[in-house]
Amino acid sequence: MDTSTKIRFGFIAVLWLALCYLVIASQPFTLWVAFIVICSGIVVWVPLYKKYVKNGKRNSKG
Going by pLDDT thresholds of 50, 70 and 90, the confidence category of residue 61 is low
- H-type helices in the chain, by residue range? 3-26, 31-48, 55-61
Residue 1's pLDDT band, with cuts at 50, 70 and 90, is confident
Confidence of residue 54 (pLDDT cuts 50, 70, 90): confident
Decide if 21 contacts 37 (C-beta within 8 A). Answer: no
12-16, 33-37, 47-51, 56-60, range with the lowest pLDDT: 56-60
Statement: residue 30 has pLDDT above 90: yes
- pTM to 2 decimals? 0.75
